[in-house]
Amino acid sequence: MSRNFYILAATLSLFAIVSGAMSLLPSTLQPGLPANGTLWRTLALILLLAGLASALIGVMSNLFEQVDRHSEEARRLARQKRRGNRSL
C-alpha cells in the first residue's frame, strides 16, 4: 500500500520540477501555454506540497504496517508459548 503513495509522490514531484522549469522559460518558447511565470510557480508549489503529503502518508502507512506485523508476530509467539506450557 505504501509503495503506491511513494510512486504518487515521485510522480507529483517530477511534475513539480517540470512546472518549476516552465516558469523559467521565456514566453516565446511556450506557444499556446500560459506564459505567466507566477502561474507555473504556483502550480509547482501545489504539486510539490501534494507530493510531500503523499510521501508522508506513505511513510506513516509503512510504519503502521510494520507495527501491525510486529504485534501479530508477538501474539503468535505468545500463543505458541502458552500452547507449549499446556502440553507439559
Separation of alpha carbons 79 and 82, rounded Å: 5
Whether the CB-CB separation of 19 and 42 falls below 8 Å is answered with: no
Query: At a CB cut-off of 8 Å and minimum separation 6, what does 33 contact?
Result: 22
Whether the CB-CB separation of 2 and 58 falls below 8 Å is answered with: yes
Residue range(s) defining the domain that contains residue 50: 2-87
Q: How far apart are the first and last CA of the chain?
A: 42
The reported pLDDT for the residue numbered 25 is: 81
Number of domains present in the structure of the chain: 1
Query: At a CB cut-off of 8 Å and minimum separation 6, what does 21 contact?
Result: none
| Separation of CA 25 from chain center | 29
What does the pLDDT profile of the chain (88 residues) look like in tens digits? 778 999 999 999 999 999 999 888 877 777 777 667 788 899 999 999 999 999 999 999 999 999 999 999 999 999 888 888 776 5
The reported pLDDT for the residue numbered 24 is: 85
